[in-house]
C-alpha cells in the first residue's frame, strides 16, 4: 500500500516530513515496517507553498494484510493527520491518498506524467481529482483539499536521479527556540565529506546553512548522495540540544527535476524551465543589487532577474548585449520575470574600447580634436584622420561555464555543480 501526505504545515509550525515520521513510529509500535520514506519536492514557483513545496509518501507491503489491518492503517494515518495538521492556517489544505500496489503498478505512467507537470508547472485540484478517480486511489481531502495535488504528484516521482536527506528532529519543548549545533564540528565534517554531502555550510560567509529558521520541528537536514554519507556526517556533528529522533528520506532534491527545456514563447507563469537566448539589452541594476536584463531566442523576449542576495547578481551584471546564455530558473507568482537559479555562458560577445592613436614620430598618445575631427600630436603637431582610432578588445571577466548560487540560497531541487559529474 502506498500512502501519500501533503499540505499539513504552516509557517507557524509542523512539517509534512514530521507527520510522516510520527505515522511510521506508530506503525512500528504495531509491527508494521515501512520502506524508506520519500520526500518529493514539487514546483518551487507555485504560490500555495509554505516553504519548499515538499510532499511525502511511503510504502508498506500489503500482501498479507487483512481488511481489518488495512482499516487500522487508515485510521492511524487519518487520526495523526487530523491531530497535527495546521488547519487554522488559511493556506493549509491537507490531503492524504492511499493506493494499493496493483493500482500503483498499472497506473504509474499516469502518475509519472502528473508528477512531471507538477514539478515544473501549475496543476489544478480538478486535474488531481480526475487522476485519483482514474487510478482507484482513496483520497481524503480537508478544507479545499489542495494537498491532493502534491499527494498524487509525489507518487509519480520516478527518482531517475536521487539524493538522500537525514532529517534531525527537535524535542517539542525546543520548537521555536534557537537551534543549538556546534558550528566547528559541521565545518570539520564538511572538510571530510564534501561533495558527498553538501549545502551544510557557506564557506565564504562561514555560517551553517543546513538549518531551517522557523518554528518547525526540524533541527537540521543533512543532504547527500548516499545513505552512508549522510549517516557518517551525522555521526561527526556535535549537537548541543536534545535530539528527538532522526529519519532518512529518499528525495528528488538537487536533481534539477523541475527544469524543462522551453522556448521563451512557451513560458507560462509559475513555470520552472531552462531557456537559451541572446542578451539583447545590457543589464540594469536596482536597489540591493537586483539585476535585470532581457534575452531573446527568436521566438520571444523575456526579462530575467538575478536577485541581490546571491553572487549571481554580479555574474548577471557583467553580461553584455550579444552574449549567448542558457538560464536555469522559473517564473514566480505575479512577476513577469524569469528568476535565475544558474547561468550558463554559451558564448561571450567581444567588447572593445576606443583608444586614441600613438604619434608615429613622438611615440606619445595623440589628442582628440573633437567628435569626428581626428587627432593631433601635441608635440610635433602631426594630424591624423578619425579612422586612426584604435579598437582594443576588453578582456571579459566571465568564462564559458555554469555559475550557480552559493549554498544557503539554493532551491531544494536545484542541482549543484558538484553533483554534475554523477
CB of 151 to ligand ATP, least distance (A): 7
CB of 319 to ligand ATP, least distance (A): 30
Stretch that binds ligand ATP, among 40-48, 223-231, 241-249, 318-326 (CB under 6 A): 40-48
**Which residues 6+ apart lie within 8 Å of 87 measured at CB?**
94, 142, 143
Stretch that binds ligand ATP, among 38-46, 135-143, 231-239, 382-390 (CB under 6 A): 38-46
20 binds ligand ATP (CB under 6 A): no
Of 20, 50, 197, 339, which one interacts with ligand ATP (CB under 6 A)?
50
CB of 297 to ligand ATP, least distance (A): 24
Written as nine digits, the cell of 256 is: 534539477
Please check whether residue 174 is in contact with residue 242, taking contact to mean a CB–CB distance below 8 angstroms.
Answer: yes
Specify the pairing of strand 38-41 against strand 243-251: parallel
Stretch that binds ligand ATP, among 141-149, 155-163, 257-265, 278-286 (CB under 6 A): 141-149
In angstroms, the CA 56 to CA 23 distance is 12
In angstroms, the CA 254 to CA 201 distance is 16
414 binds ligand ATP (CB under 6 A): no
Peptide bond between residue 110 and the one before it cis (omega within 30 degrees of 0):
no
Contact letters for ligand ATP, residues 70-99 (x by CB under 6 A): -----------------------x------
Written as nine digits, the cell of 116 is: 512531471
CB of 184 to ligand ATP, least distance (A): 29
49 binds ligand ATP (CB under 6 A): yes
CB of 93 to ligand ATP, least distance (A): 5
- Could you give the C-alpha distances from 241 to 165, 175, 179, 182, 185, in angstroms and in order? 20, 11, 8, 10, 14
The strand pairing partners of 197, in sequence order, are: 224
Q: Which residues of 137-172 are buried (b: 16+ CB within 10 A; e: fewer)?
A: bebbbbbebbbbbbbbbbbbbeeeebbbbbbbbbee
Of 96, 118, 135, 264, which one interacts with ligand ATP (CB under 6 A)?
118
**Among all residues, whose Cβ is closest to ligand ATP?**
150
CB of 102 to ligand ATP, least distance (A): 25
42 binds ligand ATP (CB under 6 A): yes
CB of 142 to ligand ATP, least distance (A): 11
CB of 117 to ligand ATP, least distance (A): 7
Coil, strand or helix: which one is 272? strand
Written as nine digits, the cell of 142 is: 480537508
Of 1, 2, 3, 6, which one interacts with ligand ATP (CB under 6 A)?
6
Specify the pairing of strand 54-59 against strand 260-261: unpaired
Using only the alpha carbons of the chain, give its radius of gyration.
Answer: 27
Per CB under 6 A, residues contacting ligand ATP are: 6-7, 9, 15-16, 42-43, 46, 48-54, 93, 118, 122-123, 146-147, 149-150
Amino acid at each position: 500500500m502506498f500512502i501519500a501526505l501533503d499540505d499539513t504545515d504552516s509557517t507557524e509550525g509542523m512539517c509534512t516530513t514530521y507527520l510522516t515520521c510520527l505515522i511510521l513510529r506508530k506503525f512500528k509500535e504495531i509491527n508494521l515496517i515501512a520502506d524508506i520514506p520519500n520526500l518529493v519536492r514539487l514546483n518551487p514557483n507555485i504560490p500555495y507553498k509554505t516553504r519548499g513545496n515538499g510532499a511525502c509518501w511511503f510504502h508498506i507491503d500489503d500482501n498479507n494484510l487483512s481488511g481489518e489491518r488495512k482499516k487500522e492503517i487508515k485510521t492511524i494515518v487519518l487520526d495523526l493527520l487530523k491531530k497535527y495538521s495546521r488547519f487554522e492556517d488559511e493556506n493549509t489544505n491537507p490531503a492524504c491518498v492511499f493506493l494499493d500496489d496493483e493500482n500503483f503498478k498499472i497506473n504509474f505512467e499516469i502518475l509519472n506524467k502528473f508528477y512531471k507537470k507538477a514539478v515544473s508547472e501549475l496543476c489544478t485540484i480538478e486535474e488531481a481529482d480526475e487522476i485519483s478517480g482514474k487510478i482507484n486511489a482513496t483520497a481524503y481531502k480537508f478544507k479545499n483539499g489542495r494537498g491532493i495535488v502534491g499527494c498524487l504528484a509525489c507518487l509519480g516521482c520516478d527518482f531517475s536521479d536521487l539524493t538522500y536527506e537525514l532529517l534531525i528532529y527537535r524535542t517539542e519543548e525546543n520548537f521555536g527556540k534557537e537551534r543549538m549545533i556546534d558550528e566547528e564540528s559541521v565545518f570539520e565534517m564538511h572538510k571530510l565529506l564534501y561533495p558527498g554531502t553538501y549545502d551544510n555550510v557557506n564557506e565564504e560567509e562561514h555560517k551553517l546553512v543546513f538549518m531551517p529558521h522557523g518554528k518547525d520541528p526540524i533541527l537540521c537536514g543533512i543532504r547527500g548522495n548516499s545513505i552512508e554519507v549522510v549517516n557518517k556526517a551525522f555521526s561527526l556533528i556535535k549537537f548541543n540540544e536534545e535530539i528527538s529522533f532522526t529519519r532518512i528520506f529518499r528525495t528528488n532534491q538537487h536533481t534539477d527535476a523541475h527544469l524543462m527545456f522551453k522556448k521563451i514563447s512557451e513560458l507560462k507563469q509559475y513555470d520552472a524551465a531552462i531557456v537559451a537566448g541572446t542578451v539583447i539589452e545590457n543589464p540594469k541594476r536596482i536597489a540591493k543589487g537586483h539585476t535585470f536584463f532581457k534575452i531573446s531566442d527568436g521566438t520571444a523576449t523575456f526579462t530575467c532577474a538575478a536577485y541581490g542576495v546571491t553572487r549571481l547578481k554580479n555574474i548577471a551584471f557583467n553580461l553584455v548585449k550579444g552574449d549567448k546564455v542558457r538560464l536555469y530558473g522559473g517564473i514566480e507568482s505575479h512577476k513577469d520575470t524569469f528568476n535565475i537559479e544558474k547561468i550558463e555562458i554559451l558564448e561571450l560577445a567581444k567588447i572593445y574600447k576606443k583608444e586614441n592613436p600613438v604619434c608615429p614620430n613622438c611615440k606619445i598618445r595623440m589628442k582628440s580634436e573633437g567628435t569626428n575631427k581626428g587627432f593631433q600630436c601635441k608635440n610635433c603637431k602631426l594630424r591624423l584622420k578619425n579612422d586612426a582610432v584604435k579598437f582594443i578588445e576588453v578582456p571579459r571577466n566571465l568564462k564559458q561555464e555554469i555559475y550557480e548560487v552559493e549554498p544557503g540560497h539554493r532551491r531544494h531541487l536545484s542541482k549543484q555543480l558538484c553533483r554534475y559529474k554523477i
